[in-house]
Structure 1
Amino acid sequence: MSALEAMMPPVQKASVNGVELAYYEVGPRGQGVPIIFCHGFPELAFSWRHQLKACEAAGQWAIAPDQRGYGLSSKPDAVDAYDIDQLTADMAGLLDHLGVEKAIFCGHDWGGIVVWQMPLIHPDRVAGVIGLNTPFMPRAPADPIAIMRARFGPDMYIVWFQNPDEPEAVLGADTSRTMAFFMRKPAAQPVTVQPDASGSTFAFKDLLRNWDGVTGGDPLLTPDELAVFAEAFRAGSFFGPVSWYRNFTRTWERAETLPTRIDGLPCLMITAELDAVLPPSAADHMAGFIGDLETVMVAGSGHWTQQEKPDEVNALILGWLDRRFPT
C-alpha cells in the first residue's frame, strides 16, 4: 500500500468548470461549514494529510483537492487555462459539487494566492479565509514579472518559469531528486540567498543542478511520502504547475477591476518563522487591507509548515474554527 492510500481518505472525483478534480474528504458531510484546503507548488492534496486527519478526529468537515494541473486532477494543455479566474472557479465548482453555499478556504503557498482571491472574485462562496505562509497581496503598481525581473534577475525562479519548456525539463529530469531538493526543513544555520552568476536570487534551476543531495536542511518527508510526490510529478509533468506562474501578468491585469479590501469575513494569517521565501514580515501590511484579521506565527518552521509542524498548525486552525465557527 502506498503512503497516499495509507494516509489519505479514498479519492473522489468531481466534474467542475470543464475539468475533473480529484479530492479527498473527511468528516460529516453537510454538517457545519466545510474547510477547503488548497495546496501550493510543488505539492498535492497529500500535503494536507495531517490536517485532514486532525479535522476528522475533531468532527470537522474538510476537503483537500488536487488542483488543476496536479496529481489525479485534469491537466489542460493551454497556459491560460491556469489563470486565477479558472483556479477560483474550480473551487466554486467544487462547492457546487458538494452541495454547499459557502466554505472556509485555507491555502498554503500558491494555494494561498487562490484563497485570498476567492472573496474578491467569488465573495458569495466564502465564509472565511486562512492563509498559511502566503499573505494577502494587494495589486502591484506594475506587472509583477517585470518587478521581479528587475529586482531578482532573469533566473529568479518565477521569472525563469515564464520561459517555455525548460523549467519542465529541468524539474522533471529526476522528480525524486527535485522533490527531495524542495521538501527539506530549514538549514541549521540561516542561509542568506545570494545572487548567482546572472545576478539572480532564488535561482532554483542552478541550485537544483548543483545540489549534492546533502547540503541544506534535513529531509522533511519519509521515503514513502517522498515517493507520493515524485510519482505524481513523474506521471503528470510540471507543465500545469509551472503554468500557474505563467499567468502572473494575466492575473495582475485581471485584478484592476477587483476589490482592494476584504471586509466582513473572519481571516486568519499563519506565518512561519524560518520561511525564506515568505517570511513573517511579508504579512506586515495585511491589517491595512483586511477588516477582521488575526495573525499568528509558527516558531521554528520553514516553508512547508503544514507538513513540518502539523501539530502546531492543526491546533491553530481548529482553535480558530472553534472560536469563529462554533458548531
Structure 2
Amino acid sequence: MINSTDFPEPAIIPVNGVELEVFEAGRENKGKPIVLCHGWPEHAYSWRHLMPVLVEAGYHVIAPNQRGFGNSSRPAEVTDYDIEHLSGDLVALLDHYGYDDATFVGHDWGAFVVWSLALLHPDRVNKVINLSLPYQVRGETPWIEVMEQFLGGDFYFVHFNRQPGIADAVFDANTSRFIRNLYRKSVPPAPPEPGMAFVNLALAEAPLGEPVMSDSDLAVYISGFETSGFTGGINWYRNLDRNWHLLADVDPIIQQPALMIYGDRDVAVPRSESLTEFVPHVEVVGLDCGHWIQEEMPEETNQVISQWLEQQDATSD
C-alpha cells in the first residue's frame, strides 16, 4: 500500500498488450505531458518528490510502473522485456492520453529506456532528462560480451544473463533485507568481495553507510517487490545484447535537448567521455550524491530539473 498522502492513487491502463500501473498528477495541465521512468530495483514512487514540483510548473505528470514492476503486467517470456517492448509501452501510453510527444525523464534503467526511446521513436520525444545513466554507446561487440570480457562472470549484468534464476531466487527470498541493504549512501570504500555483489548484499546481515530514505518509504519498495518478485525487472538485463542488435540500424545521435544529471559519488556508473558526440544538445550537471540521486538530494534534483525546463520553455517561446 502506498502510504504517502502526496502520492496519487494508481490507475491500471492497458497498453501495447500489457497493463501498466500508472500514477498521474496534474491532469488540469493537460497538453503539457512529462513521463517519469524509474530504474531497477525501483518503483514509480521514486518520483514522489519531483511530481508536485512538476505539477506546480504546469506539467501533466505521468509515472508508470513499467512492465515487470509493481502491479503492472509481468509477461513470462524474457524477450517481452526488450527495448522494442519497453519503448512501445511508453509510445502506447502517449497514445492513451492523446499526446503526440512528451518530455521523458529516466533514472538508471529508466534512463536507458528514455535514451533508446529517443532513438527508436524520435518524433514522440521532445526533451530528455536522465539521471545516473548516460547515453550508452553501441560499440562493435554486444554489451554483455564486453562486460564478461572486462568485468568477469560475477559482474551482475553478466551473472543475470549467464545464470538465469539464481539471483532472482535469492532476492525473492530476502526482499526486505536486499532493498534495505541496497538503498544506502556514504558507504565506506572496501575491496571487492568474491561472488556476485548483489547476491552478497541480499544475504548481508547488516547494511553499511546510512539509509537513503525513511522506513515508511522503504516499505513501499519492499511491498512492491513482494508483489512483483524480481524476475520481471531482471529480465530487462537479460535483453541487453538483444537490444544491441535491435538498435543496429537507428541513427545513434540524440537530437532533442537533453539534461544529464550525475551523482558525483556514484560508484556504479562512470561519467561518459563521449556524451556530447552522441547527445550534442546536452547540459550536464553533477550533484554531490551517489546513485539514488532523486532520493538522496530531492530538493537539489527538483531545482536542477525545474530550472532547466524553465530555460527550455523560455528559448522555445
TM-score (norm 1): 0.92
List aligned pairs for 1:10-159, cutoff 5 A: 10-29=9-28, 31-159=30-158
Q: What is the RMSD computed on CA atoms of the aligned residues?
A: 1.6
Work out which of the residue numbers 170, 176, 194 in structure 2 matches 1:197.
194
- Is the CA contact (8 Å cut-off) linking 1:109 and 1:132 kept in structure 2? yes
What per-residue deviation string (whole Å, max 9, x for no partner) do you get for residues 8-59 of structure 1?
1111121110001111111244544311110000001001111112222333
Correspondence for 1:243: 235
**Counterpart secondary structure, 2:185:** coil
Correspondence for 2:251: 259
**Counterpart secondary structure, 2:253:** coil
CA distance in 1, matches of 2:3, 2:83: 28
What per-residue deviation string (whole Å, max 9, x for no partner) do you get for residues 138-186 of structure 1?
1022021111111111111111111221111011112110100111113
- Is the CA contact (8 Å cut-off) linking 2:26 and 2:59 kept in structure 1? yes
Work out which of the residue numbers 259, 272, 276 in structure 1 matches 2:263.
272
Q: Which amino acid aligns with 2:257?
A: P
Tell me whether 1:170 sits opposite 2:170 in the alignment: yes
Following TM superposition, the consecutive aligned residue runs of length 4 or more in structure 1 with deviations greater than 4 angstroms are: none
| CA-CA distance at 1:115 after TM superposition | 0.4
What per-residue deviation string (whole Å, max 9, x for no partner) do you get for residues 290-324 of structure 1?
1211111112x111101110001101111111110
Tell me whether 1:179 sits opposite 2:179 in the alignment: yes
Tell me whether 1:213 sits opposite 2:210 in the alignment: no
**Counterpart secondary structure, 1:105:** strand
Give the length in aligned residue pairs.
314
5+ residue gaps in structure 1? none
Tell me whether 1:290 sits opposite 2:279 in the alignment: yes
Q: Which amino acid aligns with 2:105?
A: C
| CA-CA distance at 1:219 after TM superposition | 1.0
| CA-CA distance at 1:3 after TM superposition | 4.3
CA distance in 1, matches of 2:272, 2:22: 29
| CA-CA distance at 1:117 after TM superposition | 0.7
**Counterpart secondary structure, 2:36:** strand
CA distance in 1, matches of 2:191, 2:239: 25
Q: In the superposition, relative to structure 1, how do residues 22 and 207 fare at CA in structure 2: closer, same or farther (>3 Å)?
A: closer
Q: Which amino acid aligns with 1:236?
A: S
- Is the CA contact (8 Å cut-off) linking 2:27 and 2:60 kept in structure 1? yes
- Is the CA contact (8 Å cut-off) linking 1:54 and 1:314 kept in structure 2? yes
CA distance in 2, matches of 1:29, 1:87: 27
What per-residue deviation string (whole Å, max 9, x for no partner) do you get for residues 209-267 of structure 1?
2x2323x221112111111111111111111000000001100111111111112x111
CA distance in 1, matches of 2:308, 2:295: 19
CA distance in 1, matches of 2:105, 2:191: 29
- Is the CA contact (8 Å cut-off) linking 1:277 and 1:303 kept in structure 2? yes
Q: Which amino acid aligns with 2:263?
A: A
CA distance in 1, matches of 2:39, 2:209: 20
**Counterpart secondary structure, 1:91:** helix
CA distance in 2, matches of 1:127, 1:46: 24
Tell me whether 1:309 sits opposite 2:297 in the alignment: yes
- The range that moved more, 135-144 or 88-97, is 135-144
**Counterpart secondary structure, 1:283:** coil
Q: Percent identity?
A: 38
Q: In the superposition, relative to structure 1, how do residues 10 and 178 fare at CA in structure 2: closer, same or farther (>3 Å)?
A: same
**Counterpart secondary structure, 1:55:** helix
Q: Which amino acid aligns with 1:268?
A: L
